[in-house]
Amino acid sequence: MEGDGTDGQLMLRIASGSEAALRTLMLRHMRRAIRLAESIVRNADEADDIAQEAFMRVWKNAARFDPSRAGFPAWLSRIVINLAIDRLREPPGEPIENHPDLPANDAPPLEQILAGERRRALQDALERLPGRQRAAIALFHFESLSGRDCASAMGLSEKAFESLLHRARCALKRMLGAEHASGEQA
């Protein structure tokens, strides 16, 4: 069946023009691509555009994919990260309201408010990180890739990725304040 096979086999079929293979590959990886893009650009619409563009590049450049150099997830992540970081360099457009007001007549219990505050603090901190540090956090924590795969996706050595991830986590802890200060001693 057309849809069967490893990512590498699907890429071979895509290189010979199989749209069915592209659909199968998208079914496997589209959500991850969107999530990674959104983790970096922090905007859902832009993330969708980036994921679309990334898979168009997969379609056009399938013949250039070399499984001996990196697995497909790392290759796709690299495309998404490059597109997302390019997007961050563009001048910002209209401001987008990320935190809609809570309905006045439906006040949540105190616990929910506090949990919401904690989330917002982390979201704000993530937003203030430089794009590459955000990408490192997204790959390692959201996509659960290994350090080696993260490094490959970002085109870095393992040691350089370790250093980038270290800086990102320390910056987050610093921004979140005393709550996680104990982890910042290193």
Question: Under rule CB under 8 A, which residues in 13-52 are in contact with another protein?
Answer: 19, 22-23, 26-27, 30-31, 34-35, 38-39, 44, 47-48, 51-52
Residue 53 or 82 with smaller CB distance to another protein: 53
Structure tokens of 1?
A: 């069946």
State the CB neighbour count (10 A cutoff) for residue 23: 15
Query: Minimum CB separation from another protein for residue 40, in Å?
Result: 10
Query: Minimum CB separation from another protein for residue 28, in Å?
Result: 11
Is the CA virtual torsion 65, 2, 146, 59 positive or negative?
A: positive
Query: Minimum CB separation from another protein for residue 105, in Å?
Result: 26
Cα separation of 186 and 184, whole Å? Answer: 5
> Is residue 82 near another protein by the rule CB under 8 A?
no
Cα separation of 19 and 144, whole Å? Answer: 29
Instruction: Select from 15, 156, 170, 175 the one that contacts another protein (CB under 8 A).
Output: 170
Question: Under rule CB under 8 A, which residues in 136-155 are in contact with another protein?
Answer: 137-138, 140-142, 146-148
Cα separation of 184 and 161, whole Å? Answer: 18
Residue 107 or 166 with smaller CB distance to another protein: 166
Report the amino acid identity of residue 11.
M
Instruction: Select from 7, 55, 139, 152 the one that contacts another protein (CB under 8 A).
Output: 55
Residue 6 or 146 with smaller CB distance to another protein: 146
DSSP of 120-153: HHHHHHHHHS-HHHHHHHIIIIIS---HHHHHHH
Give the interface size with another protein as a residue count (CB under 8 A). 47
Structure tokens of 184?
A: 């910042």
All residues at 6 or more sequence positions from 186 whose CB lies less than 8 Å from its CB, including other chains: 166, 170
Q: Which residues bind another protein (CB under 8 A)?
A: 19, 22-23, 26-27, 30-31, 34-35, 38-39, 44, 47-48, 51-52, 55-56, 59, 118-119, 122-123, 126, 137-138, 140-142, 146-148, 158, 162-163, 165-166, 169-170, 172-173, 180, 182-186
